[in-house]
Every structure is written in C-alpha cells, then in structure tokens.
Chains A and B, each alone.
Chain A
C-alpha cells in the first residue's frame, strides 16, 4: 500500500467528493431541521396537468440555468485557465434574440426551433468574440470577457427595443415549466439533454483530452500537434451554446425578459460551481459532473435559506459563511491534511486488528 501523503488515492471519481459532501451536509442539516423538507408529492398545476412538487424538485428545477452554464464554464476554465464573467450578459442577449424572433410572428414549434437556432448562432458569435480575444490575442479571460460583461445587458436592451417585452404561449410555458402529461419540470429535462450531448461529445471525440492537455501545458500540447487556439475557441463556442440554452429556459420560465435582472450575477455562481466541483481554476484536469453537482449544492443552499426564513438582510451573509466552509474544505491544504489523517487511520486500524488477533 502506498501511504505517502501525496500518494493518497482519491480514485477516479474522488474529485466529486467535495461537491457530494457539500450536498450531503446541506441535506443532513435539513433532515435535522425539518424532515418534511424532503417531501416530494404529486399535485395539479393550473393547466390541469399532474406535476411533481417539493423542495427537492425546486432545487433541481431552480438550478437548471446555473447547471448548464457551469458545464460550459468548466470547459473554458479547463482550456484557458481563466473564467468567462460575461455569461449572464450573454445568456440575456441570447434570451432577447429568442424573444425578438418569437414576437415577430405566431409562436409554433417551428418558430421556437428557428428562434433557438438563431439565438445559438448569436451566442456562438459572441462566444467567438470572447474566444478570439483569449486565444488569439492572449488576453486574460476575465479581462477579455469584461467587455461583454459591461455592455452585454445594454445590447440585450437594444435588441429588446424596450424594457420588459413579454411572450405568452402554451408552448413557451411548456418549455419553462411543464410539458402536459410529463410531471417532471422541463428545465430539468433540458439539463439532462445538454449533459447527455456533452458526454457523447467527450466519449466520441478527443475534445475532452485535448482541452485538458491545453490547460495543463500549452506548449507541450502544441508540440504534440494540438492547436491550443482552436481548442480554446471551441470551449468558448460550447459555452456560448450553453448560455443560449440557459437564456431560453430563463425567458420561458417567466414568459418575460428583463435585461436588468435576468440571470444577474450568475457568472459568480457558475465560477463557484466549477470551484466546488473540484476543478482547478487554473486550468487542466476537469470533471463536468463536479460542476453540475456544485450548481445543485449552491441551489440547495439557497432553497434551504428560504425554507429557514432567514431575514432578507442576512441571506448573503449566511450564504457566504457556508461557501467559505465549502471552499476551505476543498482547499489543497485541508485535502492534504485529510489525506495524512486517512493514511494514519488506515495504518492504525490493521495494526489494532493484528494486536486483537
């Protein structure tokens, strides 16, 4: 048995330990606080469809946009060693394109498909803009995306051509809430679809491996025939599509777009989700599952605070305390200390057994 501190075996999925533990911690806390927190039940919505309800469903549903954006953010983080802070603005732009096109004519399945494709294209163009600044001009991602972060919501306003345009259609409600006959909220299904598509891409292409290689050592990647510029650009394009999907969900949820408040500060939550997911913010190795779990952990925390009726003025403080705990717990220093402790326990337990025998 290898027992050195650095040789501690987290295993293939050990990276997921921290996000899983965070969720577990929040859940155990809720179990002691109020077991009814976990009740999931069937009810009927105002359209007469049977639907699932309960805090667990609210968490999964509410974290949808964050989960999707966190997936894209993970790729950008891994490839570029930095974060995109313009995701909220980009998702808002995508949402306003979606609304703009749907308001132009009758809302049909075809129109929605066209609108979604258009908003994907627009989001990818903006993603390409960010990506070019980062990959070609070698600007720090956070600085490069600061441009869109600053002006993105104004662009969305300009596209909207007004403050809060609304769209109402049963089809839009179906995307943002429930498809008649399906008791699972549609946003949850969309997250599952995006996750499936991404996992298929990683399974059948080398994108994942190449991204990791570029993130770990650009020069080595280049020497091995990988084009770092292309990989970084690709990561921003994927993030663009993720933002488009998140934007469409967010718009459909409320049948309204408000360029000021839509997905406000989601960039910070997305970066946090990536960090809680155990991904190195400096690039390299990554696990998208970790970020998704991180997103659910953040939403679980928010939902818990609402259920606890924490005073309005204190919500942010409570959130900060829990987040500090999680981030410290996942820091290298604590991880190493935990590893040392673990090896000690492991060394002592067999010794005791022998002594007992």
Chain B
C-alpha cells in the first residue's frame, strides 16, 4: 500500500511537471516548403528551427511540402491540434481563405512569411516578406554609383514570371530606358540554370559584341557566366574588364566577392523568424501589434566586393 502511494505521488509530480512545462511553452505550427527546394529555403527552415526552439520556450510543429493541398491539410491539422500560432509560407497564393478563417474562429493568430497569400488582410496578423523590387533597385543604385562611362550589360534572367525575376528585372530595364549610356547587350532567361547562363554568355562572346557588366539574377547563373568568361580569357571582378553581379548571398558567392572575383551580391533574406518571434512575444504579453502595414518588408542589403568582410559572410551567407 505504501509502495502504491509512493508511486501515486511520483506520478502526480510527473503530471504537474509536464503541465507546468506545457504551460510555459508556446506551440507554433509552421507550414513551409521543404528545405530541398533551394538554398534559400534551407536557410529559411534552419532559421525557423533555431528561433522557435525548445530553448527559446517554443514547441514547434512543422510540415514541409511543395504542394498546396498538402500544406492546407497540415495547417488544418495544426488548427485541430490547437496550436497557439500558425506560421505559413504558402506553396501557392490561392485557396487559403477557408483554412485561415477556421484559424481565426479558433482564435489562432496567423503569420505569413516569405510569401503573400491572396486573401483578406483581416485573416492574418502580419506578413513578413522580401521585396524583390527593392533588391533590384539596390543593385541598380550600386551600379549607377560605379560611374562608368558606358554600361553594356548582359542581363541573365531567372524563370520568367517568378517574383524574383520580375523584381530584379524591372529596375534595371527602367534605368536602361532612362539613361543614354546604358545598353542591354543581351537579355535572356536561363531559368535559374547555371549551365544555360554559361551558354548565353558564350554566345555574346562569340558575337564579339563588347560588354562590361554581367547582371545575373541569382548567384548560380553568375557563376555559370563567370565560367564562360574564364574559358574565353576575359577578366572579371574588382578593377577588371567585366563587373559581375549576383543575388541571394550564398556563402560561396560572398567568398568570390571577398576574393575580388565578383563585384556585387544582393541579399534575399530568408531570416524572418526573429521578426515573427518578436511579434508573438508582444501578443503573449497582451500588447497590440499596432503595425503601420500588415506587410512587413525584411531588411535586405547589397554587398560590395571592396567593402565586404569575413564577418558579413558569416552573418549573411547562406549554405556552406
């Protein structure tokens, strides 16, 4: 009997402890694309895992899928499970109204990150996203600041119609149309493919047209372009024949900048978790968010090869 009582007390203690811990934890349901989607996504997933960790007082439930319907059912499941917050990076922009409404009915605040959803603004607390057009603008402003006599540009575009392509293309095209000494020698899509970018640059070299700038809409395509320059004996980088510009800030690309082989790399920040965590803490403390706009733009920079440091690479670089 004594033994039984002791066991009972022990069991009670365990129960109290678990309840105690559970009460201190904030459960978040995170719906994202799988890390294998891209280097960007890999860093994005890691960022959320790091911020919404047990050490920081969160219990995170995650669901990764490229398919909208799988994401929808995962989100619905999280709502049924009764998570405290729902964080979503949607595969597609449409089809989310019912799920978001159901979250609202259950009193679960929703945060969107990385990707917007076509729905009424009242259905979510805030959306933390990148502004691709601003990335393009920063890059073009940097290029203007180089004060070259002539700008003869090879413009390698991403997959046509994607947000990143449109945002990074438009500011450049506008500047080319506005300035007399700016000219696009070649504008072609490599659909984010390194090898295709190399072939495009090769074709310009073979045509013997002069160019002094490569504006590639991501790091991989810039690398492909540089491979073509190397094969044809054209120098590139700081103080060389051709200026090389890339986007996304992969760590290996930033190392090229540090070595002076490339000139510029524009950031596309996958780090949205900290901003969302801050807002969640505010809500937990019972404060209102009081946002000017529900769309919060991630702070993003552009790196110049002449000023980049190893510390920048460690802080902002993606991947290995």
The residues of A with any CB-CB pair to B shorter than 8 Å are 36-37, 39, 43-47, 51, 53-55, 58, 62, 153-154, 157-158, 162-166, 176-178, 185, 250, 253-256, 258-264, 302-303, 306-307, 309-313, 315
Contacts and interface: CB of A to CB of B under 8 A. Distances in A.
A312 B231 contact: no
Interface stretch (B175-183, B221-229, B304-312): B221-229
Interface in B174-233: 186-189, 191-195, 198-200, 202-203, 205-208, 220, 223-224, 227, 229-233
B89 interface: no
A256 B235 contact: no
B157 interface: yes
A303 B192 contact: no
A164 B39 contact: yes
A178 B227 CA distance: 11
Cβ-closest 9 pairs across A and B:
A163-B39, A312-B189, A306-B203, A157-B36, A261-B193, A46-B230, A44-B233, A55-B206, A166-B252
A306 B188 contact: yes
A254 B224 CA distance: 6
B233 A43 contact: yes
B128 to A, nearest CB: 21
Given A254-B198, A315-B188, 15 more contacts: A43-B233, A46-B230, A162-B39, A162-B42, A254-B195, A254-B220, A254-B223, A256-B220, A258-B220, A260-B37, A261-B193, A306-B186, A309-B186, A312-B188, A312-B189
A119 B232 CA distance: 30
A258 B194 contact: yes
B42 A163 contact: yes
11 contacts: A51-B233, A53-B232, A163-B40, A164-B220, A164-B252, A261-B220, A263-B195, A264-B193, A309-B186, A312-B187, A315-B188
A157 B188 CA distance: 28
A270 to B, nearest CB: 15
B320 interface: yes
B191 to A, nearest CB: 8
Nearest to B165: A312
Contacts of A263: 195
A162 B193 contact: no
Contacts of B42: 162-163
B250 interface: yes
B199 A162 contact: no
Contacts of B313: none
B227 A254 contact: yes
Interface residues of B, number: 44
B230 A307 contact: no
A43 B188 CA distance: 25
A36 B203 CA distance: 12
Nearest to B187: A312
B132 interface: no
B192 A53 contact: no
Given A254-B223, A312-B160, A53 B194 contact: no
A154 B36 contact: yes
B318 interface: yes
Contacts of B250: 163-164
Contact of A46 (B220, B235, B252, B319): B235
B38 interface: yes
A283 B222 CA distance: 42
Contacts of B220: 164, 254, 256, 258, 261
Contact of B200 (A36, A258, A306): A306
B274 to A, nearest CB: 21
B195 A58 contact: no
Contacts of A264: 191, 193
Nearest to A256: B223
A46 B233 CA distance: 4
A262 B157 CA distance: 17
A256 B193 CA distance: 12
Nearest to A53: B232
Nearest to B156: A312
B199 A303 contact: yes
Contacts of A306: 186, 188, 199-200, 203
B189 A256 contact: no
Contacts of A315: 188-189
B196 to A, nearest CB: 8
A303 B319 CA distance: 33
Contacts of A302: 199
A53 B207 CA distance: 11
Given A62-B199, A163-B319, A302-B199, A177 B231 contact: yes
Contacts of A303: 199, 203
Given A58-B206, A306-B199, A306-B203, A261 B231 contact: no
The interface centre, meaning the residue of A44, A58, A164, A263 with most chain B CB atoms within 10 A of its CB, is A164
Contacts of B38: 163, 260
Contacts of A58: 199, 202-203, 206
A177 B227 contact: yes
Given A53-B206, A162-B320, A164-B250, A261 B192 contact: yes
B157 to A, nearest CB: 5
Contacts of B208: 36
B173 to A, nearest CB: 12
B192 A45 contact: no
A260 B193 CA distance: 9
Given A163-B42, A306-B188, A177 B223 contact: no
A189 to B, nearest CB: 15
